[in-house]
């Protein structure tokens, strides 16, 4: 990107900010990536600035989003930039939520079937349509954000004895391919010994395709260039795969950050990536979100969260500089006032990327 184009991007951003809220704001991925590498043109943006691991960070503010209410097991946050709205699920209750932070308007809906809902990802260029993990199905759901939703069709399924397996976390990669993982429901019923009967799948034209087997709790996903980052919570580490973008083929799995070796409190759960490639990871049972440099396997930062069971994270806001954090209130945390809330963290000095949406074949 030329210096002239970089400066034009900054001017355009300033104009948008001066105009106030707009219906649709286009912010290509390269805007944030370029802005983070602009020291050579005399601006004050950081260039892969290394952040302190001190948990008491000046400038970072954590607040509960009161308008979002309280859920049992918040998961799967996804920011839709064109709507300036956050979607997430109450997993065990099977409820889909939507929040417009600037107005505080919060709506929710429950698809028919009384099944767990692990995640929600919008469909590219199909407003009001989403792919959700619905029990053991990957389903296309329609919802206008107001009235009752409906399941349009099942796009793929995983064979299992009813009630023994369910989809957990899921996201779309930069090519628009959906990735989602399964897990045993044993832990949902109070048993802490989690069998490794889950797997990681991608959604293809002919249904769900298995890529990784012997998974305990399939969780966080993130991508950068030809890499895919992945979390199986029971392994208590973050792994990386080499990814062939066109085919979705995975190879060369390796650990890039081990929670036990780094003495991190909690287990890794949901995950997101920022514009310079650092990973932000929810620590279930750890009262915190951590930020790591995946290239060096280095802890950069800890962000304390009032709730213990921190489940997932997602960048949002007009500049994608607000970190939304979902939490749970299950088992020992059930009924605690800080549990199951949605939190927003500002002042982190970092930006995310636009969340990718699922690209489905023409129907």
Cα 100 from Cα 86, distance rounded (Å): 7
Please enumerate in sequence order all residues whose Cβ is within 8 A of that of 286, keeping only pairs 6 or more positions apart, or say none. 264, 265, 266, 267, 308, 310
- Count other C-beta atoms under 10 Å from residue 21's C-beta: 10
Q: Residue 150 in contact with residue 128, Cβ under 8 Å?
A: no
Please enumerate in sequence order all residues whose Cβ is within 8 A of that of 5, keeping only pairs 6 or more positions apart, or say none. none
239 is catalytic: no
172 forms bridges with which residues in the sheet? Answer: 178
**How long a stretch of residues is the chain?**
363
Cα 305 from Cα 229, distance rounded (Å): 23
Tokens of 360: 């489905």
- Count other C-beta atoms under 10 Å from residue 191's C-beta: 11
Cα 237 from Cα 264, distance rounded (Å): 10
DSSP letter (8 states) at residue 136: T
Exactly one of 90, 137, 269, 274 is catalytic; name it. Answer: 269
DSSP letter (8 states) at residue 92: T
Cα 300 from Cα 60, distance rounded (Å): 14
Q: Residue 79 in contact with residue 313, Cβ under 8 Å?
A: no
Tokens of 2: 């030329």
Compute φ and ψ for 121, nearest 5 degrees: -135, 125
Hey, is 274 helix, strand or coil?
strand
Measured CA to CA in angstroms, residue 161 lies from 111, 164, 165, 168, 179 at distances of 21, 6, 7, 17, 22
Tokens of 322: 């607000």
Residue with tokens 């759901």: 141
Cα 330 from Cα 73, distance rounded (Å): 7
Catalytic residue numbers, as ranges: 269
């Amino acid at each position: 990107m030329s210096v002239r184009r970089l400066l034009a991007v900054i001017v355009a951003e300033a104009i948008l900010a001066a105009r106030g809220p707009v219906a649709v704001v286009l912010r290509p991925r390269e805007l944030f990536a370029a802005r983070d590498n602009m020291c050579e043109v005399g601006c004050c943006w950081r260039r892969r600035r290394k952040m302190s691991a001190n948990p008491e960070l000046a400038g970072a503010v954590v607040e509960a989003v009161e308008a979002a209410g309280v859920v049992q097991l918040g998961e799967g946050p996804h920011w839709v930039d064109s709507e300036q709205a956050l979607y997430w699920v109450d997993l065990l209750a099977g409820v889909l939520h939507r929040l417009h932070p600037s107005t505080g308007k919060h709506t929710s809906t429950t698809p028919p079937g009384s099944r767990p809902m692990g995640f929600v990802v919008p469909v590219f260029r199909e407003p009001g349509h989403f792919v959700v993990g619905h029990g053991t199905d990957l389903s296309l759901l329609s919802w206008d954000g107001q009235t009752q939703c409906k399941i349009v069709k099942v796009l793929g399924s995983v064979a299992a004895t009813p009630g023994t397996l369910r989809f957990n976390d899921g996201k779309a990669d930069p090519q628009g391919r959906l990735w989602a993982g399964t897990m045993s429901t044993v832990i949902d019923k109070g048993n802490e010994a989690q069998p490794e009967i889950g797997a990681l799948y991608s959604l293809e034209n002919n249904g769900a395709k298995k890529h990784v087997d012997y998974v305990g709790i399939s969780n966080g996903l993130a991508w950068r260039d030809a890499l895919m980052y992945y979390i199986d919570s029971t392994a208590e580490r973050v792994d990386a795969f080499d990814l062939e973008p066109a085919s979705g083929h995975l190879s060369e799995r390796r650990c890039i950050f081990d929670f036990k070796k780094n003495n991190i409190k909690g287990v890794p759960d949901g995950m997101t990536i920022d514009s310079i490639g650092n990973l932000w990871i929810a620590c279930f049972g750890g009262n915190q979100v951590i930020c790591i440099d995946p290239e060096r396997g280095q802890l950069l930062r800890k962000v304390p969260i009032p709730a213990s069971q921190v489940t997932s994270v997602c960048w949002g806001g007009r500049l994608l500089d607000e970190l939304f954090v979902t939490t749970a209130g299950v088992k020992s945390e059930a009924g605690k006032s800080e549990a199951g809330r949605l939190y927003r963290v500002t002042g982190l000095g970092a930006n995310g990327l636009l969340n990718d949406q699922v690209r489905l074949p023409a129907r």
